[in-house]
Structure 1
């Protein structure tokens, strides 16, 4: 019976490269000359620090551009509020890994609402979709790509 898995993952190497490229771009930009501004990556959280709130917004634009160049979906970002501490401003950007239970339930319900002959089941941080026909599974993939769930999904482990 054909099946595939729906997952939400970010390539950590590409994320690291995007952060490094953003730091390099900060070093070359004229408007950030003599300004303490950095991007730091810890696990799946990027910490932006700058001297002004406006500069944080510019840094977010730089980060989004570099993520797009590296093929990392910007929908995976969860942007926290800016914090002013001392003379610097800080902003945390968390990158979502895996499908949380609320999103998984919403996704399974919407797959069932499509009235296709497939079964969707939650298995940890992924969703397994099985069906009798490969065409039904491909319709599910096409529908999920067109729907907006505010999180990027990948499809792997496709089996006939």
Structure 2
């Protein structure tokens, strides 16, 4: 019997890269003529993995979010990993928007991925291990098919395929 091969499906974000993008965005907001004196502020909470934007209006908040998004993309962070909440009214007429950085695959998404892989009828075993999935099979070609299938799906967060052996 051939040795089983496997890989892990994970969803991770490098918080150091998020911090670097945040610092670049903060610098650009301080220098850009249309945002310089607008009163817009951004903050990053590494522990809770959240980005907070406080701005005097919805329009300015949208501009700041666009700046942050462009810096994240340049740093190689998929924008699907950042979930922006709705605008909340803050002091005066200002608005606040909070984004959470998605790290790990939650149980609902993991079970949906598991169900979709089983629906392909490929001969693989899928195990949910905390915030990742381990997919194993005797055939490496089958594992490659699973990876290409998952790349074609949208689960609302970026997926990486690691520990391929």
What TM-score, normalized by structure 2, do the two folds share?
0.93
Aligned-residue RMSD, C-alpha: 0.9
The answer on 1:136 being equivalent to 2:119 is no
Alignment match, 1:14: 17
- How far off its partner does 1:33 sit? 2.4
Q: For structure 2, which runs of at least 5 residues remain unmatched after alignment?
A: none
The DSSP-based 3-state class of the residue aligned with 1:18 is helix
> More displaced, 10-19 or 32-41?
32-41
- Counterpart among 100, 108, 111 of residue 105 in structure 1: 111
The answer on 1:86 being equivalent to 2:91 is yes
Query: In the TM superposition, what are the counterparts of 1:1-160 in structure 2 within 5 Å?
Result: 1-43=4-46, 44-87=49-92, 88-159=94-165
CA distance in 2, matches of 1:85, 1:49: 8
Q: For structure 1, which runs of at least 5 residues remain unmatched after alignment?
A: none
Structure 1 runs of 4+ with >6 Å offset: none
What TM-score, normalized by structure 1, do the two folds share?
0.96
Count, aligned residues: 159
CA distance in 2, matches of 1:27, 1:70: 20
